[in-house]
Amino acid sequence: MTSADAGSAGVVGRLSTLDRFLPVWILAAMVLGLAAGRLIPGMGPALDAIAIDGVSLPIALGLLIMMYPVLAKVRYDRLDTVTGDRRLLISSLVLNWVLGPALMFALAWLMLPDLPEYRTGLIIVGLARCIAMVIIWNDLACGDREAAAVLVALNSVFQVIAFAGLGWFYLDVLPGWLGLPQTDLAVSSWDIAGSVLIFLGIPLVAGYLTRRFGERAKGRDWYESTFLPRVGPFALYGLLFTIVVLFALQGDAITSRPLDVARIALPLLAYFAIMWAGSYALGSAIGLSYERATTLAFTAAGNNFELAIAVAIATFGVTSGQALAGVVGPLIEVPVLVALVYVSLAARRRWARRSVPGGTP
């Protein structure tokens, strides 16, 4: 066994039972949520009613619990090493805000030419770049936490600035140029900013303050060897809770239209595969380390389903095809990106061999 193989095996060996069987727990959470939403009368509407300004409080709670432990692990004194890496920053911006939306637009029109509502919903999903769950996937795949924090923050800024404009371009302007049907999308930048502040701002500030005051009080060794292991599992607890709530909210819609879900799933599967593999290939081509290439790939492949669903519901209604397309997003994204976590860990061995003299290429 090479040192690279041993290192990768060591990573898997150090995983807790919760981490090691993550696909099982996630599948169980999805099934539980779908079953609850389908079988318990009024559960979906009851959960949906627990909201403030269109933000689901149960989902917000789950995401905050999920993101806080990972952001508390970030070494904020190392962020300058990320902000100085222009290759990473420029690549991320191009992938997220140029190639990603264009690819989803193309796939939606190619695969759903006869289903305008679902097509519009998928285009909205493509415009909503990930600022939440990607932090979990990146951490599980041993990506660069500091790079993830910077890229997610960068996506958040661009989301506030560019989402409405890109929605107008891809749903109205570009279809008009191509002689295709056009759609209006009315969305407020203030609403998007509120979503960003809730789903990223709160856990980011909490994580930063926890590390700063924890290290100041008891030192970095105590903080990383004692405190972080205690709060770390809550990231996956929050993830599983979020999945249960999300699928319970839309369980009836998903299970009552299986053929429509399958049609929507096809372009999503193509999108995740192309964005993830293409981002990894780009990271390798420009000389990024495994950790930063992994962060680049997951931040480019993931989407902000919370924002996409909220925009679709606010614009087209809760029972619309656009809203269903947004809901199917995480139905496909969650298991696919979990699988890609394991693909990434396997690729880590190959990446490491390239830096070992005499290693197998």
pLDDT of the chain, 361 residues: tens digit per residue: 344 444 444 444 445 566 667 778 888 998 898 888 888 877 777 777 777 766 678 888 888 898 899 889 999 988 888 888 999 999 999 999 999 999 999 999 999 999 999 999 999 999 998 877 888 899 989 999 999 999 998 988 888 888 888 999 999 999 999 998 988 777 777 777 877 788 778 888 999 999 999 999 999 999 999 999 999 889 889 888 988 887 887 777 777 788 899 999 999 999 999 999 999 999 999 999 999 999 999 999 998 887 888 788 778 876 788 888 988 888 888 889 989 998 998 888 777 666 544 443 3
Q: Using an 8 Å Cβ cutoff, are 298 and 155 in contact? A: no
Whether 358 is in a domain gets the answer no
Whether 245 is in a domain gets the answer yes
Alpha-carbon distance 311 to 54, whole Å?
A: 9
Alpha-carbon distance 156 to 136, whole Å?
A: 17
Whether 301 is in a domain gets the answer yes
Whether 361 is in a domain gets the answer no
Which residue segment(s) compose the domain that 287 sits in?
3-353
Whether 126 is in a domain gets the answer yes
Q: Using an 8 Å Cβ cutoff, are 239 and 233 in contact? A: no
pLDDT at position 359, please? 42
Q: Phi and psi at residue 300, in whole multiples of 5°?
A: -80, -35
Alpha-carbon distance 326 to 117, whole Å?
A: 11
Identify the residue whose tokens are 């005499």.
Answer: 358
Q: Which amino acid is at 150?
A: V
Alpha-carbon distance 301 to 337, whole Å?
A: 8
Q: How many domains does the chain have?
A: 1
Return the CATH number at 336: 1.20.1530.20
pLDDT at position 351, please? 74
Identify the residue whose tokens are 């509120």.
Answer: 194
Alpha-carbon distance 5 to 343, whole Å?
A: 14
pLDDT at position 360, please? 38
Q: Which two tokens stand for residue 109?
A: 């029109």
Q: Which two tokens stand for residue 322?
A: 């656009």
Calculated CA dihedral for residues 167, 135, 86, 355, nearest 10 degrees: -140
pLDDT at position 80, please? 86
Whether 214 is in a domain gets the answer yes
Whether 360 is in a domain gets the answer no
